[in-house]
Amino acid sequence: MEMKFVKWLIILILALGYGSSSLYAGQLEQIQAKGELVVSLNRDYPPFAMTIDGHLTGLDVDLAKLLAEYLGVKVRFVQPDTFDQQIPKLLAGESDMIIAAMTRTVERGLKVSFTDPYFEVSQAALVLRELSPTLADSYFDLLKINGLVLGVKADTTHEKFARELFPDNVIKIFPTTAAAVDALLKGDVNAVAADSPFVKVWYETHPDRYLKFAALLAPVTKEYYAFAIRPGDPFFLGWLNLFIDQIRIDGTMDLLNHEYFQEMAWTKQTPGSPKKVTPAEMLKNAFIARKKAMIDIRRKDLKAVKPDYDYNPSVP
């Protein structure tokens, strides 16, 4: 009797192991079988997702395209009307994953599985310069403003953080950050809270607004963007984490950060699809950029050191 029980126990363990292994690989296999990766993006959130001359572009868009390339499939993008629809639509099967500048939180983690972080941000703000306190540089300086009316995107960490600091009558909710900024320009609010990359990019791409608005960018929080997938698929989650490790190691993220936050050529894009850059080219470009930076640092260091000899070019 005991041997029979052990026999059936072994069969059960093997069956469960086989079944779970098949389950874990399920979503990746389904994506490859249908030949399409459906990615849910943010709406109007430069430089992560934006439409320029009819073409979707942005850091999140580039990452999704690279993911699809590794999987050997096409990528299709969906953009929910409001941010609070991202997770419900993922869970309903309308997308395979979310790459939408979504912050990892414990509350969201009860509904979806988050990957390792791919981008670090802080709470930041745009504010009317005439209301901004002297030497103001951080989100917390908003607390010093009398008559503050703060615009925030609904169902985000921006809204949650604002509600922890300000009374409800100070906060105005908008479906997108772009809508909140439009309200700022119209005078319906006098400040907008958003993640630091958005604030930095908006401010630097609107030099004609420097005299009217100030950007409060000093870091006050540490928050992390991550990809989100439906829970229960460790194999897919593990592969995505490997992808994130890869793009950190090979210089892809360094290059994308440089292109979208330093060089910012996308602000002057001409019509037509942007030139495709392969991972190898990204690695080459990042390598060259790092070498150039090292050389520039060495040159500066050499200029700062006074030579311990007298140099006279007329003396051979």
- DSSP-assigned letters across all residues of 185-249: HHTS-SEEEEEHHHHHHHHHT-GGGTTTEEEE-B----EEE--EE-SS-HHHHHHHHHHHHHHHH
Q: 113 and 130: one domain?
A: no
How far is 103 from 285, CA to CA, in rounded Å? Answer: 29
Residues 148 and 185 occupy one common structural domain: yes
Q: Is residue 75 part of a domain?
A: yes
Residues 6+ apart with CB under 8 A from 229: 27, 90, 96, 97, 98, 112, 113, 115, 236, 237, 240
Place 26 in a pLDDT band, splitting at 50, 70 and 90: confident
Q: Within 10 A of 8 (CB to CB), how many other CB atoms are there?
A: 10
Taking each helix axis as running N to C, give the angle between helix 26-34 and helix 59-71, from 0 to 180 degrees, rounded to the nearest 10: 90
In three-state secondary structure terms, 97 is strand
Q: What is the mean pLDDT of residues 242-251?
A: 93
Q: Judge if 130 and 208 occupy the same domain.
A: yes
Of 196, 221, 246, at which residue does a domain stop? Answer: 221
Q: Do residue 98 and residue 129 come from a single domain? A: no
Assess whether 114 and 146 both reside in one domain.
no
pLDDT value, residue 280: 63
Same structural domain, 193 and 51: no
Q: Confidence class of residue 166 from pLDDT cuts 50, 70 and 90?
A: very high
DSSP 145-172: -TT--EEEETTSHHHHHHHHHS-GGGEE
Q: Where does the pLDDT of residue 266 fall: very low under 50, low under 70, confident under 90, or very high at 90 and above?
A: confident
Distance (Å, rounded) from C-alpha 44 to C-alpha 178?
6
Q: What phi-psi label fits residue 79: left (phi over 0), alpha (psi between -120 and 50 degrees) or beta?
A: beta
Instruction: Please indicate, yes or no, if residue 305 is contained in any of the structural domains.
Output: no
Looking at the structure, tell me whether residues 37 and 113 fall in a common domain: yes
Number of domains in the chain: 2
pLDDT tens-place string over residues 227-242:
999 999 999 999 999 9
Over range 89-104, report the average pLDDT.
97
* 47-75 confidence digits (pLDDT tens): 999 998 888 999 999 999 999 999 999 99
- Output the average pLDDT for the chain: 84
Residues 113 and 30 in one domain: yes
**Based on the domain organization, do 246 and 193 belong to the same domain?**
no
**In this structure, are 48 and 60 located in the same domain?**
yes
Of 159-168, 179-188, 260-269, the range with the lowest mean pLDDT is: 260-269
Inside any domain, residue 207: yes
* pTM higher than 0.85: no
The alpha carbon of 124 is separated from its chain's Cα centroid by a whole number of angstroms, namely 15
End residue of a domain, out of 194, 221, 248:
221
User: Residue 140: inside a domain, yes or no?
Assistant: yes
62, 92 in Cβ contact below 8 A? no
Which has more confidence, 44 or 217? 217
Model confidence at 277, pLDDT cuts 50, 70, 90, reads low
Structure confidence at residue 315 (pLDDT)? 43
Query: Do 68 and 106 fall into the same domain?
Result: yes
Residue 244 has pLDDT above 70, yes or no: yes
pLDDT of residue 291: 57
Provide the domain limits for residue 181: 123-221
Residue 304 lies in a domain: no
Residue 284 CB: number of other CB atoms within 10 A?
A: 14
Q: CATH no. for residue 165? A: 3.40.190.10
Do 111 and 155 have their domain in common?
no
Does residue 310 fall inside a structural domain? no
How far apart CA 110 and CA 106 sit, in angstroms, is 7
Q: Is the predicted pLDDT of residue 2 greater than 60, yes or no?
A: no
CA 116/CA 7 separation, integer angstroms: 41
